[in-house]
Structures are given as structure tokens and as C-alpha cells.
């Protein structure tokens, strides 16, 4: 630190601490177990899919079904493709070769439907998938590979076919009978749900879906079961080896309860991750959770890629999010472009050039890029259930062009500034430009996005005092020739629908004579 200035001394240790925390900037890969890899155990487990459930062929596409009044759900919710934990483990090499560091599984708890957001028993694994011991073994295998495991926690509601809900529903019905004088129960052991004539289904359910009765989180016994007790759902799974939770509809759980849950997770496993599915503006939701799923950022990126937002407007929106939200939590937030609840990226943005604008920004903005299985090979899919088609392994085996592109994007995360660096926007008339930077000058990365339909000639002021004059910048994606900064200014042409990822070339390599003008600027 002999050449450290006052600012360097103030920042001492910041980036090293961020690098030690696996949650910062990690690449996340999302999997629906039923749809990820075909099982070789189908013959032995066909009995686990009794009618009206249907077991589909791997080459079939999901189609919207009809509403089943007796079950209070849609028929496509009980179409299965037969994937399980064993078949997932057999395909981990693919996930690791992509460069993913975190495997996130949609719910695996015992449930009636294929999506498993209707828990019957949080502690048990759905038998079509396997056993709790297999999840523990999966976590161990991921750890052996230097990876982590995050599960999906659905703690706002359970399934309408759960034994707990049916017992309480039956008890309420008996209490309402003229022949029953006991009256409804009011103790913690029974008041797990909300019942009453004000609800069309007779109970409060998530967004009116009768099969998803909401839990009474005001009941201390419910909170103890979910996260408070040492053997609770949240703490028990962390004890058994998982590394974190993605919380379904976390906004419905609220600030106070989320904070309780996050504190419980950290007490059980320091450094564990709690990410909330929160479409609201993120600023006030942290630190109730470690990070959010970045709904707002997704809208900005897709809006820019599809031509609805120009670059400078998108830049102002993102700068405001960064300014308002604690940055340490932004680094742990997940940047996603598609998932099990949205149409797939290749469907939302069919034009590949436009799509790549959003993808490059997904991997260069502060946060953790969240990849949805199959997007790395350009899978398409519209509204539910179209986006939940089985994985296209034929495209992996044939070396789909999108696969190599995805690997190149993931490789960008090897650059320190893109993983743990700070963020500042660069002034531009027509582009979206920003810098990711650390305390080391040559870590800097300039990202310059042109989402428009025409090439743009631009002058960019590089507001980084450590960037020495005449430093050469090269595009890490190889789209333009290297360009030098002159008096803190870059003049460059950015092609239409292109994002440049510019990195300083070390002077020893750029000059070839061993001279460095960075000798006293670290």
C-alpha cells in the first residue's frame, strides 16, 4: 500500500471481503427437477403418478389444460415428465461446465402438483423426486465441486390437500354445525389458516387460488414451524447441508417476518443466503432479505432490448435503483431475464441481436446472474405452462450456438470488477454506459450499450482518476478494435444492438517494452 492515496486507505479490505462471500455476484442456475433430465427409473416409479396425474413423454411440450373443480387446480398442473434428483445429479457436469456456481431448485417438498408450490409436508421430499437423503447427497456433491445449493421456500401458503389444512378445515366445519357446541378453535395448535364466509373458497388463499390456502403467519406456532424453532423447515434444511433459500412471494410475508426468517437462517448457518421474490421497488426490502429477485431490473433490460426504453433513460432508472438500495445487498440480488413464471427470453425477445443486449447487461451489472435451465440453448416458451418445457438435451449435445455464447458471458464473471466492483454511470447522449471498478486501476471495466437500430458515434468521459492517459481498452467480446482513452475521453463507434465490455490492456502487453505508466498508481 506504499502508493495508496486517502481513498485507497478508506476502501482497504472492501473488495477482498466481498470476494470472500460466495453470495456476491455468483452465477445461479435454476432447475425444475421434473423437467430437467429424463429419469432412468420411470418403470419403477410409475405408481407415483396415479390418475388424474399424467406422465408425459420427454419430447412432448406442455399445454394449458382445463380446470378441475374437484381438485381446485388446472389439469396441466398435474402433468409430469418424470425428472428426479438422480437424473439431475447425472447432468451436473453440464451445469458446472457452464460456469454456474449455485444450483437453485424450484420446490422439491412433498406436494401434489408438478410445480410443488402447494406443499403437503415441508420436511419431506416429493417421492417422484427422491428422498431427503438424496438432497443431502446432492448438497455434498455440489460442495465437492465448489458449488452451492439453494432451495425454494414457499412459506406464504401450503397445499389444499395437505393433512394439516384438511384437519383444520374439517374442525371448522364441525364447529360451524348446529349440532356442535364447541365453537371454532382459537389456540395456536389449530389456527394455521384463515377461514370465513368472506372468502369465496371458505378460506383465504393466495391470489384466490383455492388450492393454495394462506398460512396464518401471525400465529407463533406457524412461525416456529417454518423458521423459528431449531428443527424448523428453514433451519433444518440448512443444518442438513443446503446453503440458502429463495423465498416464493416474499412480498406477501412482509418486512418484519422476512427479517425474522433471515435472522434465523443466519443464526443456523452464518453466510447462508436468503433471496426474496419481490417485484416491488427493492430499496426498503433489504436487509429483511439478503437480496431480491430483480423484477424492476428485468423490466428495464427487456424494455431496452425490445426498443421501448432508450439507453440514457434506462441508465437513469438503473442509477436510481443503485443509489437507493444498499449496494452490498444488490451484489447478492439475482438478475434474471426469464424463469418458470415468465415467457422464455427467446420468446420475449425473438431478435437475437436485441436479446444479446439484455444478456450482456445481465452479466455486467451489479448482482448475481440467474440462468433458467434451457435458456443457454435458446429454448422458447410462452405463458404458463409453455415456459416449463422439458430440457432440450439434444441442443446441448449438438453444440447449439447459444451455448457457447452463454459460456462466454459466464466467463466475464472472472473479472473482479464485474463480480464485486462498485458501479457508476458514464455520461452519454445516446447510450447506456457505466463503469464497474475496484481499488485497483486495471480491474476497471467499462460497459457501453447501444440498444438502438443504428450505430452511434460517441464521446465518453471516463470518470476514473486512476485510468492513465493513452490507456488502451479492448472489448472482451471481440466486437470492436481496441480504443485508447485520451485526456479522460473515449471516442468510439458502437454498432446497433451491441454492448461493448471494455477492459484496460496492461501497458506491458500493450507496449511490449516493459514500460508501465501505472507504476505508482495501483
**Catalytic residue numbers, as ranges:** 248, 277
The residues that bridge with 459 in the sheet, in sequence order, are 491
Block residue for cell numbers 383444520: 168
- Distance between CA atoms of 57 and 112, rounded to whole angstroms? 20
Give every CB contact of residue 403 below 8 A, 6+ residues apart in sequence. 376, 377, 395, 396
- Distance between CA atoms of 413 and 449, rounded to whole angstroms? 18
CA distances from 348 to 89, 223, 299, 308 (A): 30, 39, 11, 13
- Distance between CA atoms of 487 and 132, rounded to whole angstroms? 61
Sign (positive or negative) of CA dihedral 517, 519, 521, 522: positive
Give every CB contact of residue 474 below 8 A, 6+ residues apart in sequence. 482, 502, 503, 505
- Distance between CA atoms of 85 and 106, rounded to whole angstroms? 12
- Residue pair 330/316 in contact by the 8 Å Cβ criterion: no
Comparing CA positions, the residue from 371, 360, 377 lying closest to residue 476 is 360
- Distance between CA atoms of 205 and 214, rounded to whole angstroms? 5
Cell reading at 250: 416474499
Comparing CA positions, the residue from 243, 301, 297 lying closest to residue 268 is 243
Please state the three-class secondary structure of 222-290 as a single string.
HHHHHHHCCCCHHHHHHHCCCCEEEECCHHHHCHHHHHHHHHHHHHHCCCCEEEECCCCCCHHHCCCCC
Sign (positive or negative) of CA dihedral 514, 517, 519, 521: negative
Which DSSP letter does residue 506 get? P
- Residue pair 492/448 in contact by the 8 Å Cβ criterion: yes
Parallel, antiparallel, or unpaired for β 368-372 and 334-336?
A: parallel
For 199, phi then psi, to 5°, come to -100, 130
Give every CB contact of residue 304 below 8 A, 6+ residues apart in sequence. 310, 311, 314, 357, 358, 361, 432, 449, 451
- Residue pair 436/422 in contact by the 8 Å Cβ criterion: yes
Comparing CA positions, the residue from 41, 34, 85, 89 lying closest to residue 58 is 34
CA distances from 20 to 328, 366, 420 (A): 13, 16, 10
Amino acid at each position: 500500500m506504499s502508493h495508496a492515496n486517502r481513498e485507497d486507505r478508506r476502501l482497504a479490505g472492501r473488495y477482498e471481503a466481498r470476494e470472500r462471500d460466495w453470495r456476491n455476484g455468483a452465477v445461479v442456475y435454476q432447475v425444475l427437477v421434473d423437467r430437467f433430465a429424463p429419469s432412468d427409473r420411470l418403470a419403477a416409479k410409475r405408481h407415483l403418478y396415479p390418475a388424474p396425474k399424467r406422465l408425459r413423454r420427454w419430447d412432448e411440450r406442455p399445454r394449458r389444460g382445463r380446470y378441475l373443480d374437484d381438485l381446485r387446480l388446472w389439469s396441466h398442473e398435474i402433468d409430469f415428465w418424470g425428472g428426479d434428483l438422480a437424473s439431475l445429479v447425472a447432468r451436473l457436469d453440464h451445469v458446472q461446465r457452464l460456469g454456474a456456481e449455485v444450483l437453485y431448485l424450484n420446490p422439491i417438498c412433498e406436494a401434489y402438483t408438478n410445480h410443488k408450490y402447494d406443499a403437503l409436508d415441508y420436511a419431506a421430499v416429493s417421492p417422484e423426486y427422491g428422498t431427503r437423503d438424496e438432497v443431502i447427497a446432492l448438497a455434498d456433491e455440489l460442495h465437492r465441486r465448489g458449488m452451492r445449493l439453494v432451495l425454494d421456500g414457499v412459506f406464504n401458503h401450503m397445499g389444499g390437500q395437505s393433512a394439516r389444512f384438511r384437519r383444520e378445515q374439517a374442525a371448522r366445519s364441525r364447529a360451524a354445525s348446529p349440532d356442535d357446541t364447541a365453537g371454532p378453535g382459537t389456540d395456536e395448535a389449530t389456527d394455521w389458516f384463515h377461514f370465513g364466509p368472506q372468502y369465496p373458497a371458505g378460506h383465504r388463499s393466495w391470489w384466490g387460488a383455492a388450492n393454495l390456502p394462506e398460512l396464518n403467519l401471525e400465529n407463533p406456532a406457524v412461525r416456529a414451524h417454518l423458521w423459528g424453532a431449531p428443527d424448523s423447515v428453514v433451519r433444518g434444511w440448512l443444518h442438513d447441508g443446503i446453503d440458502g433459500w429463495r423465498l416464493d412471494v416474499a412480498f406477501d410475508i412482509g418486512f418484519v417476518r422476512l427479517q425474522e426468517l433471515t435472522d434465523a437462517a443466519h443464526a443456523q448457518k452464518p453466510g447462508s443466503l436468503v433471496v426474496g421474490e419481490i417485484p416491488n421497488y427493492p430499496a426498503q426490502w433489504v436487509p429483511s432479505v439478503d437480496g431480491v429477485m430483480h423484477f424492476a431490473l428485468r423490466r428495464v433490460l427487456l424494455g431496452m432490448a425490445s426498443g421501448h426504453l432508450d439507453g440514457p433513460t434506462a441508465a437513469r432508472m438503473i442509477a436510481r435503483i443503485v443509489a437507493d438500495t444498499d449496494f452490498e445487498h444488490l451484489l447478492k440480488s439475482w438478475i434474471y431475464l426469464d424463469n418458470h413464471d415468465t415467457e422464455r427470453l427467446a420468446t420475449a425477445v425473438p431478435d437475437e441481436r436485441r436479446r444479446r443486449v439484455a444478456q450482456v447487461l445481465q452479466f455486467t451489472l451489479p448482482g448475481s446472474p440467474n440462468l433458467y435451465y434451457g435458456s443457454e440453448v435458446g429454448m422458447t416458451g410462452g405463458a404458463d405452462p409453455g415456459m416449463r418445457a422439458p430440457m432440450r438435451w439434444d441442443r446441448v449435445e449438438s453444440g447449439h450456438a447459444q451455448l457457447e455464447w452463454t459460456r462466454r458471458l459466464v466467463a466475464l464473471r472472472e473479472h473482479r470488477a464485474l463480480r464485486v466492483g462498485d458501479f457508476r454511470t458514464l455520461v452519454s447522449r445516446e447510450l447506456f454506459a457505466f463503469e464497474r471498478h475496484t481499488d485497483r486501476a486495471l480491474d476497471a471495466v467499462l460497459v457501453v450499450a447501444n440498444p438502438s437500430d443504428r450505430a452511434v458515434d460517441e464521446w465518453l468521459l471516463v470518470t476514473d482518476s486512476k485510468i492513465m492517459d493513452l490507456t488502451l481498452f479492448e472489448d472482451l467480446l471481440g466486437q470492436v478494435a481496441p480504443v485508447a482513452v485520451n485526456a479522460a475521453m473515449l471516442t468510439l463507434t458502437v454498432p446497433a444492438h451491441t454492448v461493448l465490455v471494455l477492459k484496460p490492456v496492461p501497458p506491458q502487453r500493450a507496449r511490449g517494452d516493459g514500460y508501465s505508466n501505472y507504476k505508482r498508481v495501483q
